[in-house]
Chains A and B, each alone.
Chain A
Amino acid sequence: MLEGKPMKNVAIFGLAIVLLIFSCSKDVSPSSSDNSSTGEGGSMAAMTIVGNYMYRIAGGNTIEVYDISGDSTAKLVASVAAGNGLETVFPYKQNLRIGTSNGMLIYDISNGANPTYVSTYTHVVSCDPVVAQGNYAYVTLRNGNRCTRGLTQLEVIDISNLGNPTLVKTVPMVMPHGLDADGKNLIVGEGTYGFKWFDISNPTNPTEILFNKTVPGYDIISRGNSFILVGDKGLYQYEYGNKTLNLLSTIPVARP
């Protein structure tokens, strides 16, 4: 009670120290901001970290689980046979979404070391990365390669009931590769054909805002008001505008 003022001084002093410490920590080389956090890959990624485990698609048919609680080591603790044609892995809440050559698999990882099969969303044979947001997963199916029976489209899948993913919408595409959903924005790479920007304010009805046909899109990471896109011509970063994209920067590919 009587120490009101000194306590306040101590608090201010403490705050000053904290501010001083933070203002002194200057990054000399690009580094990640905090020590336990994980980074973010694009939808083409074949490995991902959730908590103390790293999940990796190996040999197209196995989900490998590595215990990385020791940080400096990655110990293989499980190899889960999950069928053929596995390509990409995307974490969402307590699940892994696995893009396969004929759809999407969902594995529960509430027990991190032991992914358990939940369900399969199967369509025709195609190639498909997958991302998820809220109750919906967005999957691109691509034709024109080994997935010769496939379709070339974007599919919106209702995953509110994980045990029974259901198709709610199909959008025709040209040659879709990676994609990323972020808030009301969905960017889909169209390989060498460019990339598309969709409005997903209504998540079940992606509405095309624009189709950039000059910048090839292969893998995408969207982050708030901007996104990073990589493709045959290089690395591009854009800021979302009102129906237009503002090119922030380019690191072009130099052909040898």
Chain B
Amino acid sequence: MMKIITPLAILLLVMGGCDNPRWNSGFTQMGYKPVYASSGDLKLLIKSSPAKALTETGKIYTKGNLLLVNQPFQGVHVIDNTDPANPINTSFLEIPGNIDVSIKGDFMYADYSGKIVVIDISDISHPRVTQNVTLDTRFQEYPPQADLTRDFTWRTYFECPDPKKGVVVGWVYANLNSPKCWRENQ
């Protein structure tokens, strides 16, 4: 009898040991997901898109009746705040990798992957890049250091970039399914 029970017990133990949900596929974790594009040319990527809903909010910036709300690593929501009682979400200015913007006159200075891109916004629905930057290769490998938009964590999970899907032009914060990549923060 013991001859049967012992192997059975061992088998059960081993099976139990394997049943660690964290390392089975199916565990979810908030982290960064790459945004792919067919081109890495920022000039083509910076553009005005139809207004979209605020899904994640970053820093805010105002000038005159213009109000900008950053969507971390994606760009800014363009809001007509002529009447603060009735702000109108007019469009979305896509600036991959962006966290901070500032404006002087008709020009916007926006950070992008650690560099500064300059955009003529005299007509914000037709933004025109006047100073381009090249993609930082590190940006292709892992998301930028998390900024003040969310509380610090020692480890940032992200979906491993897949070069076959295109050039990484941005990162979005999302619920990830069993992410296999992470970076340690300091």
- Interface residue ranges, A against B (CB under 8 Å): 27, 29-42, 44-49, 54, 56, 58-60, 66, 68, 71-74, 76, 87-88, 127, 129, 144-147, 177, 191, 218-221, 223, 226, 228, 230-232, 234-235, 237, 239, 248-249, 251-256
For A41, list chain B residues within 8 Å (CB).
Answer: 59-61, 100, 102
- Interface residue ranges, B against A (CB under 8 Å): 53-67, 69, 78-82, 84-90, 99-107, 109, 111, 114, 116, 118, 120, 122-125, 130-131, 145, 147-149, 151-152, 154, 174, 185-186
Across the interface, do B105 and A29 meet the contact criterion of CB distance under 8 Å? Answer: no
> Complex formed: what's the CA distance from A218 to B82 in Å?
23
Of the listed residues A27, A40, A41, A254, the one surrounded by the most CB atoms of chain B closer than 10 A to its CB is A41
Give A74's nearest chain B residue, CB to CB.
B116
Within the complex, what minimum Cβ distance (angstroms) separates A68 from chain B? 6
Across the interface, do B55 and A72 meet the contact criterion of CB distance under 8 Å? Answer: no
> Complex formed: what's the CA distance from A34 to B60 in Å?
20
Within the complex, what minimum Cβ distance (angstroms) separates A63 from chain B? 14
> Complex formed: what's the CA distance from A47 to B68 in Å?
15
Report which of B79, B106, B152 forms a contact with A35, defined as CB distance below 8 A: B106
For A60, list chain B residues within 8 Å (CB).
Answer: 145
> Complex formed: what's the CA distance from A164 to B20 in Å?
57
For A226, list chain B residues within 8 Å (CB).
Answer: 84
> Complex formed: what's the CA distance from A49 to B53 in Å?
29
Q: Contacts A68-B107, A74-B116, A254-B54 hold; do A30 and B59 have CB atoms under 8 A apart?
A: no
Within the complex, what minimum Cβ distance (angstroms) separates B71 from chain A? 10
> Complex formed: what's the CA distance from A35 to B186 in Å?
41
Q: Contacts A30-B124, A74-B116 hold; do A42 and B59 have CB atoms under 8 A apart?
A: yes
CB-based closest 10 A-B pairs: A39-B63, A145-B152, A30-B80, A72-B130, A254-B53, A32-B64, A33-B64, A32-B63, A39-B103, A146-B152
